Structure 1
Amino acid sequence: MIDLLTTRYTYVLFAALLVVGLYIVIASSNLVKKVIGLNIFQTAIFLFFVSAAYIEGGASPVIHGEGGPYASPLPQVIVLTAIVVGVALTAVALALVVRIYSEYGTLDEQTLREVRADE
């Protein structure tokens, strides 16, 4: 068990980030904290993709003439695209949070539900 944790530590880190991000999204009532939790969750998914694509001793598929296993660049391309999309979604989410705060004066989810129910 210890050997598995020391050799596959990125998967342990992935699981820890996933649980922390999910907990923040579920347990927090503050909208900014929810956005931060989503970013942590998203980072865990990125780590999982990169860790799963890693090949011990893998060579770049661009270099010809080298033998051995080749690492696929596709997961890195997908993660790079997801990072760009994630940054854009974070910017939109934070802009919405700023707009909600200026309109209602609070970022607490329960208070917002009460205010919306009174309207």
Structure 2
Amino acid sequence: MEVVMAFVIGFLFMAAVYLILSKSILRIIIGTSLLSHGAHLLILTMGGLDGEAPPVLADGVTNMADPLPQALILTAIVISFGVTAFFLVLAYRAYQELGTDNMDEIRGKLSDD
């Protein structure tokens, strides 16, 4: 299972880097979102995917899984959702003001002012 997750994580990182290096603000935002999802899967995979031990200690259970990776991922998902929402509002406002989402044109318009 870890090998499949490694390929999925690698694909997410590859797609994220490709999108982040583009010139469109919307693609950059989607790339950062994919990058955060890849990081979440990486943390989950590093926490272990054996699934034999329960994450909560119950009666008669001698070993338990580490709940820290799941807690970190849950917190990171909430934070990345907030950051993505902020980036989308910022990009929409920039598009309203400047009339484009191309980074080169935005840099040119801001330097002309």
TM-score, normalisation: structure 1: 0.87
1:40-99 alpha-carbon deviations (Å, 9 max, x no partner): 1110000111111124222334214223x4211111001000000001001110110011
What letter corresponds to residue 82 of structure 1 in structure 2?
A: A
Q: In structure 2, which of residues 42, 47, 51 is the aligned counterpart of residue 48 of structure 1?
A: 42
Distance 1:30 1:16 in 2: 21
State the Cα RMSD in Å: 1.4
Q: State the identity as a percent.
A: 25
Q: Say whether residues 1:97 and 2:102 are aligned partners.
A: no
Give the 3 Å change call, closer, same or farther, for CA 41–7 of structure 1 in structure 2.
closer
Match of 1:73 in 2: 67
Match of 2:10 among 15, 38, 49: 15
Answer with 54-63 or 42-51: which moved more: 54-63
Offset of residue 23 of structure 1: 1.4
Q: 2:80 aligns with which of 69, 86, 92?
A: 86
Runs ≥4 in structure 1, deviation > 6 angstroms? Answer: none
Any unmatched runs of 5+ in structure 1?
A: 1-5
- Count of equivalent residues: 112
Using structure 2 for the length normalisation, give the TM-score. 0.91
